[in-house]
Amino acid sequence: MKLSFTQYDVRCIHPFGIARSSHEMYPEIFIYLEKDGLIGRGEASPSERYGESAELIIKTIEKGIDLPSQIESPELFEKSVLYQCGGLKALEVAFSMAYLDWWTQSQNMAMKDYFGVEEKVGPFTSFTIAIGDMDLIAQKVEEAKPYHILKVKLGSENDKEIIHAIRTETDKVIRVDANEGWDLDSGETMCKWLADQNVEFVEQPLPAEKVHETAELKKKSPLPLIADENCLYPENIPEIAHAFDGINIKLMKCGSMLKAKQMIDMARERDLQIMLGCMVESSIGITAATHLAPLVDYVDLDGNLLIDNDPYIGVLIEDGRVIIPDGHGLGLQLNSTYKGLK
């Protein structure tokens, strides 16, 4: 099996701001695994929040990744390869999705079939309005017109102003993501205020280390609380289940397609609501997540919709719902002549 990779910088349509940072461009590392005329594709979207970078990922790959000489099941592949990724979860999941893409193509099946997913249609995806220029809010709401649900990034000094500005434009359901931007007092105040603003839930209201305080907020909040930064891996779920009503699973955080499915199963066992989220990514990563989307309650799979240079065609959107594309594996098509892409 041949390994190759390339860096590709995705451009945001608008600067993407959250409580702790803002970016106009994100570096993605695309992983390609080739054998028998088939190409498996994976994507690494590194997060500064977890100490990852494109430079670290490239350095790790260039140090050498030993691939198995024999074709293995996806489970065995992950055991023999992912430990070589230096703990970089974005790189781990890039190998996980690339191999699973290749393997399911070789078995003439869609990736969803590997996970026992029968439906092709997932939930309505939210469309993100990030922290940024207040004068652009009306334009962003207009751009979100095809989508039934807005995800609004808060955790700044003008949270109420942002919500007021959106509410002058639309009464669509809002999902709030504070990205660890509040403390217990402001979280309680905001959750109670947001409950009257047609808000469905609040994601990661407090810093991840404030689990005890988040459990206190859960008792007082009229809105469900969804864990993001508090729920990276399967082992986090038992630790934080008492403090949240649900979890946000992101492939780039958990490090494996198989672990993402494990997290779905663990959350179901604990009666937690489940959302599939994403970073700002191309259609490789978003399509991979979409193959699990029919198994969850909510999806926030708009990373490819927030950029203007997506080099792949994959996940479809129909009336705001994510649709798994036809075809074997991920079901991707290359839609770019950019050098190094496959």
Q: Are 127 and 145 in contact (CB under 8 A)?
A: no
Q: Please, which residues have CB within 8 angstroms of residue 79's CB and are 6 or more apart in sequence? A: none
Does the pLDDT at position 199 exceed 80? yes
DSSP string, 36-98: TTEEEEEEE---GGGT--HHHHHHHHHH-----SS---HHHHHHHHGGGGTT-HHHHHHHHHH
| Segment 275-300, tens digit of pLDDT | 999 999 999 999 999 999 999 999 99
Q: Which two tokens stand for residue 40?
A: 């498996």
Q: What is the pLDDT of residue 16?
A: 72
| Segment 52-85, tens digit of pLDDT | 999 999 999 999 999 998 888 999 999 999 999 9
Residue 337 burial class via C-beta count within 10 angstroms: exposed 0-12, middle 13-18, buried 19 and up:
exposed
Q: What is the pLDDT of residue 163?
A: 95
**106: phi > 0 → left, psi -120 to 50 → alpha, else beta; which?**
alpha
| Segment 96-149, tens digit of pLDDT | 999 999 999 999 999 999 999 999 999 999 998 877 778 889 999 999 999 999
The per-residue pLDDT of the chain, averaged, comes to: 95
Q: Strand locations in the chain, DSSP E? A: 2-18, 21-35, 38-44, 121-124, 126-129, 149-153, 173-177, 199-203, 225-227, 246-250, 273-277, 298-299, 312-313, 316-318, 321-323, 333-334
> Mean pLDDT, to the nearest integer, of 215-219?
98
Rounded-to-integer distance, Cα 286 and Cα 125, Å: 11
Domains and CATH numbers, the chain: 2-109 (3.30.390.10), 114-334 (3.20.20.120)
Q: What is the pLDDT of residue 222?
A: 98
Going by pLDDT thresholds of 50, 70 and 90, the confidence category of residue 19 is low
Q: What is the pLDDT of residue 256?
A: 97
Rounded-to-integer distance, Cα 108 and Cα 70, Å: 19
Going by pLDDT thresholds of 50, 70 and 90, the confidence category of residue 313 is very high
Q: Please, which residues have CB within 8 angstroms of residue 219's CB and are 6 or more apart in sequence? A: none
At 152 the three-state DSSP class reads strand
Q: Please, which residues have CB within 8 angstroms of residue 172's CB and are 6 or more apart in sequence? A: 144, 148, 149, 150, 198
Rounded-to-integer distance, Cα 73 and Cα 35, Å: 15
Enumerate the β-bridge partners of residue 131: 17
Does the pLDDT at position 156 exceed 90? no
Across 17-21, 111-115, 117-121, 304-308, least confident range: 17-21
CA 174 to chain centre: 18
> Mean pLDDT, to the nearest integer, of 159-169?
95
Identity of residue 103: W
Cβ count within 10 A of residue 80: 14
Q: What percent of the chain has pLDDT over 90?
A: 90
Does the pLDDT at position 22 exceed 90? no
DSSP 196: T
Q: How many residues does the chain have?
A: 342
Does the pLDDT at position 37 exceed 90? yes
Convert 97-130 to b/e letters by CB count within 10 Å (16 or more is b). bbbbbbbbbbeeebbbebbebeebebbbbbbbbb
On the CB side of 130, CA atoms within 13 Å amount to 21
Q: Which sign does the torsion angle of CA 212, 130, 50, 29 carry?
A: positive
Alpha-carbon distances of 84 from 88, 256, 257, rounded to whole Å: 9, 14, 17
Q: What is the pLDDT of residue 17?
A: 64
Q: What percent of the chain has pLDDT over 70?
A: 98
| pTM of the model as a whole | 0.95
Going by pLDDT thresholds of 50, 70 and 90, the confidence category of residue 20 is low
